Structure 1
Amino acid sequence: MKHVSIIVPDNQTTLSSVACIVGAYEMFDLANEYWKENGRQEFIKTELVGVSKKADFHKGLVTVSPHTHIDDTPKTDLIIIPSLIRDYQKAMKGTQLLSDWVSKQYRNGAEIASMCSGAYMLAAAGLLNGKKCSTHWCYADNFRSLFPQVNLQPEKLITDENGIYTNGGGYSFLNLVIYLIEKYYDRPTAIYCSKLFQVEIDRQSQSPFIIFSAQKSHGDEIVMKAQEYIESRLDEKITIEDLSSKFAVGRRNFDRRFIKATGNTPTEYAQRVKIESAKRTLETTRKTINEVMYEVGYSDVKAFREVFRKITGISPLEYKNKYNKEAVV
């Protein structure tokens, strides 16, 4: 029989942590019931594991009692790490015992799945070095600054590499659980759970949900001025040559400084600023795709559509229909 361990962190959590723990447990429990109802023998045991007899969440609003202590779980096959508190330095210090146990289990052959900010525990333990990883898109800049050796891909909803699974933010952890159920049971069981819990199966991207927020705490005054220049001229086509010349910095040096400060090339930054503006317009007005396109400095529909899809994962029209009620009416 395989063993699934859902971690119950102690005092380093939010109500989102509870949702991850309860949601994962309930879905694996349902998968087991479905499996048995179809005449097959139960082969997965799911337990909550922790370092204390009970863990309080949100000032005692919710209490979760783990089934077992990590010291009494010498061997497990899959570890699920829920989201953690948003003070990541504190979270990493406060979960050291769990982190050490997770690392030991991974070395002994266990697989690990992190939900949302649970990826910080894996990264702090060095288990994500050189590997692909996702987390909530709004933590991307902070995560990159702390763990530059990790290949962060915040547009991905789920990553799967060398027995380590990570996922994006919010309640997309449900998509990860469906993915794991298919891995550990089979496709029909995953489809059944997907239908019963009404969770979209095979969802791959969190790009449509990303709200671009410019990184401006870097302290590079030239780059800051360049960012402000780009943002104030959304309807213009600005080249790297224009920017480096305007701020009297060699192109190569300017490009290097911009990437170091913002995590994007100047071209990528301009694209993201423009597309974020286009998204807001599509969400709140009746303007046509062409009108929006011209407002953010594009004159070629194909080019605009390609950049929009690259950043959001869907076309401008799909985005408008998805987020603008008036557009649908």
Structure 2
Amino acid sequence: MKHISILALKDATITSIDSSYQILNRVNDFLRYQGRTPFYSVEIVGLEKNIQLDHGLYSIHVKHTISDIKKTDLIVIPLLCGDFAKALKTNEGYADWLISQYHNGAEIVSLCVGSFFLASTGLLKNKKCAIHWAARNDFQVMFPDVHLIDDTIITDESGIYTCGGGYSYLNLLLYVIEKHLGREMSVLASKMFEIDIERKSQNPFMIFMGQKKHGDKEVLSSQEWIENNPTETFTVDEICTKMAVGRRTFERRFKKCTGNSVAEYIQRVKVEYTKKQLESGRKTVNEIIYDVGYNNIDAFRKVFKKHTDLSPIDYRRKYSA
């Protein structure tokens, strides 16, 4: 039997704590129905017996504090809400215990932006991490030594599991259940809780927001100009001329500041504009593609699918009114 410690972090969301508790306990019920022994011993633990959550909106009473837990097998870090820097400071009392338990063999399951707290302990240094697309830029600024992953919602490295994107933590819990108890139990949990087990990527949900907390005035001006002209056709050289900077140096600065090359940034802005047109406009897909400056319809469809995992037609079916 694995002992699970779900951390009642201050300013965590009650839903992520309770969902983890309910799903893992329900798996024990499934095992009982099959005449098998329960696998998880699940409890919620905190720094104190009574913890305020979600800025005092909820309070939770726990049976044990972390000081009572000398050995645990798996630690669940819930989602945090609000000011991340403040939340890290508020919860720093958990850090030493978390680090000690990890080095003593405990696995760590970090739910979405709970990874801000995990990264603050240093345990994610030079490791892969998935994070919610809307928090990516802030996370990169705070933890530049963590390797952020874009193309999947789940990472699994050295006994640490992370996920990106709101309620995708439900998929992460299914993933962990599958590792512990096999595919059949994971599928059963998926069916019972009606969780789409095949969701693998954040791309269909992502809204592109360029990294702008960098202080480079020319790069920032070029970002704003690109974003304000999504239907214009221009080259990287034309942008460099407009900014009065040399191409080689500027491209290096742009990549360092934004995480994208200039050409990639232009692509992503045009894809984001196209998404909005597909959601609310009446033009055909081909008309929209021509509007954003592409003459090669197939080439743009490939670019669009690269960033959304959907064709323009499928995107319209999914998100239009």
TM-score normalized with structure 2 length: 0.95
Q: Which moved more, 1:47-56 or 1:143-152?
A: 47-56
User: Following the alignment from structure 2 to structure 1, what is the Cα–Cα distance between the partners of residues 249 and 119?
Assistant: 31
Q: Would the aligned equivalents of 2:152 and 2:202 in 1 still touch at CA under 8 Å? A: yes
Displacement, 1:60?
4.3
Number of matched pairs: 321
Structure 2 SS opposite 1:84: coil
Partner of 1:296: 292
From 265, 271, 274, the equivalent of 1:275 is 271
1:50 to 42, 46, 51: 46
Q: Which runs of 5+ in 1 are unaligned?
A: none
Q: After the TM superposition, which residues 211-290 of structure 1 pair with which residues of structure 2 at under 5 Å, given as runs?
A: 211-290=207-286
* Cα distance in 1 for residues equivalent to 2:227 and 2:178: 44
1:81 aligns with 2:77: yes
Moved beyond 6 Å, runs of 4+: none
Percent sequence identity over matched residues?
46
Are the counterparts in 1 of residues 54 and 81 from structure 2 also a CA contact under 8 Å? no
Q: What amino acid does structure 2 have at the position aligned with 1:40?
A: R
Indicate conservation of the 8 Å contact 1:157/1:167, yes or no. yes
- Aligned residue type for 2:95: S
User: In the alignment, what sits opposite 1:7?
Assistant: 7
Q: Secondary structure at the match of 1:143?
A: helix
Q: Deviations over 1:283-307 (max 9, x none)?
A: 1123221111111111212211111
Contact 2:14 2:54 in 1 (8 A): no
Contact in 2 for aligned 1:83/1:117 (Cα 8 Å): yes
Aligned partner (choices 295, 309, 313) of residue 309 of structure 2: 313
SS of residue matched to 2:24: helix
State the 1:38 CA deviation.
Answer: 0.6
Q: Distance in 2 between matches of 1:116 and 1:43?
A: 25
Q: Which residue of 2 aligns with 1:158?
A: 154
AA in 2 matched with 1:149: D
Contact 1:119–1:135 (8 Å) recurs in 2: yes
Q: Hey, what's the Cα distance between the residues in 2 that align with 1:315 and 1:128?
A: 34
Instruction: Quote the offset at 1:154 in angstroms.
Output: 4.1
CA–CA distance in structure 2, aligned partners of residues 142 and 290 of structure 1: 36
The answer on 1:136 being equivalent to 2:132 is yes
Of the three residues 142, 162, 171, the one matched with 1:146 is 142
Q: Select 1:172's aligned residue among 168, 175, 180.
A: 168
The whole-number CA distance in structure 2 between the counterparts of 1:102 and 1:207 is 31
Q: Does 1:68 align with 2:78?
A: no
Match of 1:117 in 2: 113
Q: How far has the Cα of 1:59 moved from its partner? A: 5.2
Ranges in structure 2 where 5+ consecutive residues have no aligned partner: none
Give the TM-score of the pair, scaled to structure 1: 0.93
Letter in 2 for 1:171: Y
